[in-house]
Structures are given as C-alpha cells and as structure tokens.
Amino acid sequence: MIWKQRLARSLHLSRSKPESRYLQLATYCETRGVQNRTVVFRGFNDSDTQLYFVTEKNCDKVHSLKSHSQAEIAWYFAKTREQYRLRVECNLIGEDADVNDAQCRQRIWQELSVSARESFKPINDSTPANFIVSVCTITQVDYLYLGQSHERYLYQPCTSWQEQSIPV
Ligand SMILES: Cc1cc2nc3c(=O)[nH]c(=O)nc-3n(C[C@H](O)[C@H](O)[C@H](O)COP(=O)(O)O)c2cc1C
C-alpha cells in the first residue's frame, strides 16, 4: 500500500520534530456542530491500518464521536511539505472495554510520559477511569505534496487502495 509507505517515510524524515506528531481532528454531531482540535498521534496498530490518540472521557470530541464515529484528520509535515487528510472511523476504548481492547488501552497508558499521565490525575499507577483511547480506522487517504512539483493522490479501499492521481 503506497500511502502507508509515504506516511512511514514522512514520519521518519520528521522524527526530530515533535510537532510532526500533532494531528488536527475534525468531528461533527448535531448538538456541537463541526469542531476541530489538535491531538497527539500515539502510534499505529500492527498492520498500520489504525492509528491511536488518547483523550479524556468528558470532552466534546468523545461526545461527538459517540454519536458520529466518522471524523477527518489533517496532518501536515512542514519539513517535507506534505499533507495527509485521513478519513477515519473512531472506536473509543474506555474502562468498560473487552479483554483485547483493555490490553491495548493499558499498553498505551503505560507508553505515555509521566507528564501526559498526570493530566489524567491518576490516583495510583492503574489506568484512570477517565482515560480513553480512540482507535481510528483509516478509510480514505488524500495526499498532497507541495514541493517543487504539486502532486495529489487519493487512496480508497474500493480501488484496492490503488493510487489515483488528482489534478492540482
Ligand atoms: C499541541 C497540542 C496537543 C494536544 N493533544 C491532545 C491530545 O492528545 N488529546 C486531547 O484530548 N487533547 C489534546 N489537546 C487539547 C485539544 O486540542 C483540545 O483543546 C481539548 O482536547 C478539548 O477538545 P474538545 O473539547 O473538542 O474535546 C492538545 C492541544 C495541543 C495544542
């Protein structure tokens, strides 16, 4: 899958830039309308088809995603002048998760820095009740390169993730 290779390359080339792990996440629901905010990329699953971010139970994005699980991520790599727009389906893992999801939530909690954990105000070392992992399944990728040439490609599962060039 070419988009995965592109994204892996973008992350690798910007690995010294902490801001390359900041994503813009747009959500929608009837009561809150369209909302956009920054979240930190917390890694991919083993097959790179899902990405993770973490958040807190009582926030707008969680309320919106519970009623509309579709969202869009915009991810810009300034160093390589590349933008990815990822259409995603978000599954929220909280304290009521089944065994497999609970393991994933526990692992991601353990991988957080001390300062990131402190923002959840844990009472002890165990995973706090308000800690949520969003598992975002990638359902479409729109890639834009604004280097010397301008290139845009669309990747969708209905075309077996084949690269489709779009005039810029
Ligand atoms: C650089 C940066 C990184 C952030 N990372 C996260 C994050 O990983 N998870 C999160 O819930 N909020 C994060 N925030 C805060 C969100 O952008 C947002 O302000 C907050 O989560 C409330 O959003 P909501 O009310 O739309 O849910 C971050 C903000 C900034 C500026």
Q: How many domains does the chain have?
A: 1
pLDDT at 1 over 70: no
DSSP states of the chain: -HHHHHHHHHHHHTTT-GGGGEEEEEEEETTTEEEEEEEE---B-TTSSEEEEEEESSSHHHHHHHH--EEEEEEEETTTTEEEEEEEEEEEE-TT--HHHHHHHHHHHHHS-HHHHHTT--SSSSPPTTEEEEEEEEEEEEEEEESSSEEEEEE-GGGTT--EE---
Q: Bridge partners of 89?
A: 70, 137
pLDDT tens readout for residues 90-119: 999 999 999 999 999 999 999 999 999 999
pLDDT at 52 over 80: yes
**CB atoms inside a 10 Å sphere around CB 124:** 5
**For a substitution probing ligand 1, which of 21, 27, 31, 40 has the most ligand atoms within 8 Å of its CB?**
40
Query: What pLDDT is attached to residue 103?
Result: 96
Give the rounded percent of residues in the chain with a pLDDT score beyond 90: 92
Using pLDDT thresholds of 50, 70 and 90, give the confidence band for residue 122: confident
**CB atoms inside a 10 Å sphere around CB 122:** 15
Within 6 A (CB) of ligand 1 lie 22, 35, 37-40, 53-56, 59-61
* Closest ligand 1 atom number to CA of residue 42: 8
**For a substitution probing ligand 1, which of 22, 37, 111, 117 has the most ligand atoms within 8 Å of its CB?**
37
What is the domain-level CATH number for residue 41?
Answer: 2.30.110.10
Side chain identity at residue 92, one-letter code: L
**CB atoms inside a 10 Å sphere around CB 83:** 15
Full domain range(s) for residue 147: 2-165
Using pLDDT thresholds of 50, 70 and 90, give the confidence band for residue 121: confident
Q: Give 112 Cα–ligand 1 centroid separation in angstroms.
A: 15
